[in-house]
Amino acid sequence: MGGYWAGIDWSEEKQDCVIVDDNGDVVRHLRIEETKEGVAQCIEALRDLNRTSHRFSRRQVPVGIEDGNRLLVAELRRLRQPVVVIPPAVTARHRGRLAPAVSKADRTDAALIANILRGAPARFREMPATTDSASALAILARAQQDTAARARELAVRLRSHLTLYHPAAIKAWSGMDHGLCRAEARALLAVAPTPCAAASLSKRRIADTIAAAGRIRLVDQEAGRLRDLFALPQLRQCPATEEAMGIRTRLQIAELDQTLQHAERLVDESNALFDQHPHAGIYRSFPACGPRVATRLFAEIGDDLTRLETSRGLRAYAGTAPLTWASGGSRAVTHRTVCNRRLKNAVHQWAFGTLTRSPGCRALYDARREAGDGYAAALRRVGGRLLSGLHHCLLTGQHYQEHAMFPHRE
């Protein structure tokens, strides 16, 4: 009995499902909807491939698709049908190999996905068997990361807007942590968004505003500094223009406040869910692996320990393992650009935090810098070592130990 492979090209209305055999010939083509009935039609078509053999099972037929987040995929996985995600970039590179004229159609794309699986079945793995709680945590962690990025974008836009009419507001919190995203900065700008309104504030009003925003230390001293700064003469826009810009600033601050609140709420929700997972203690035993970093790492790695069999595979997935280009007599070693970008950013932040919390990581970073590595390359080395240790701890159930991670150091 020959093998079969299936490919699905999804769309908002009808999904094209094509099944091919060992020779790449189309055995079955059907158009299904993303409903219970459509999934039942797909499953029935897989069952009908070989009715004469009791040894054949539809679960021997992998189904390829470009998007693993579809409801169709969730239902297929619930029915324990193997699903393989084919990146759209891979499909695009293979599209010109079947015919000289590159064309695109839903049916031909579904057949192309199935033939990609048929040509190299060992290179594409089934979707990881992550638990429902791990999938839920991944959604929350990624949403928090996107919301935090949105807050940074709003802060940049706010700063750019303030340069047009209120440069003293930028100078007031320049050099401080979080800058205009500080609660006291947002509260004071909401009260006095224009230079005229800021200059008319008394020291007591400023002190009450920043204290209500959460400032505890040196409130009177900070209020005096801000009052003197806003009272200095500066270039001004016309009164009506300045008032309109102040209205826009109030709206931008309100949007920034709401975005930051959503980001903090997502942090609390993801941490509460992560605390219930058995892997939480292992992640948080590592240095500088705080709530945000731990949840972001876990969201991208998942809890399917069979997904990445070796630590090198995990490092390659995170973009910390080097990539070798060799052709003839030339050979070059570069860093990976094709990887999980979210995981790569989380590992970079993690490695940076360990420089002041782990003597071994700091020694490794200094050694790589002395060997000629740049800042980013040295941090990738540290991140790769941390991922190797995390991989070992996850497989063995152990917590982080500095002397075991860096045995050559006292």
Q: Total domain count for the chain?
A: 3
Q: Which of 10-24, 189-203, 379-393 has the lowest mean pLDDT?
A: 10-24
- Give the lowest-confidence range in 128-132, 218-222, 280-284, 360-364: 128-132
Beta-carbon contacts of residue 186 (< 8 Å; ≥ 6 apart): 180, 213, 253, 256, 257
Residue 239 has pLDDT above 70, yes or no: yes
155 and 75 in one domain? no
Confidence of residue 305 (pLDDT cuts 50, 70, 90): confident
**219 and 121 part of one domain:** no
In a domain, 278, yes or no: no
CB-side exposure of 271: number of CA atoms within 13 Å?
12
Q: What's the rounded mean pLDDT across residues 105-117? A: 86
Domain C-terminal end among 230, 251, 272: 272
**Residue 277 maps to a domain:** no
The answer on 380 and 293 residing in a single domain is: yes
pLDDT at position 2, please? Answer: 56
Domain holding 229, by residue range, is 136-272
Q: Are residues 145 and 266 in the same domain?
A: yes
Average pLDDT over residues 207-220: 90
Give the tens place of pLDDT for each residue, 52-95. 566 678 888 899 998 888 888 889 999 889 999 888 888 888 87
For the segment 329-354, the average pLDDT, to the nearest whole number, is: 87
- Are residues 61 and 104 located together in one domain of the fold? yes
- Residue 74: which CATH number? 3.30.420.40
Pair type for strands 83-85 and 63-65: parallel
Would the pTM count as exceeding 0.85? no
297 CB contacts (<8 Å, ≥6 apart)? 283, 289, 343, 346, 347, 350, 390
Mean pLDDT of the chain: 88
Banded model confidence at residue 23, pLDDT cuts 50, 70, 90: confident
Task: Say if 246 falls within a structural domain.
Answer: yes
Q: Are 149 and 91 within one domain?
A: no
User: Are residues 97 and 154 part of one domain?
Assistant: no
Q: Is the pLDDT of residue 405 over 50?
A: yes
Q: How confident is the model at residue 103 (pLDDT cuts 50, 70, 90)?
A: low
**Do 146 and 268 share a structural domain?**
yes
- Phi and psi dihedrals of 54, rounded to 5? -80, -15
pLDDT at 106: 78
C-alpha 117/C-alpha 114 separation (Å) is 5
Residue 410 lies in a domain: no
Strand partners, 16: 9, 31
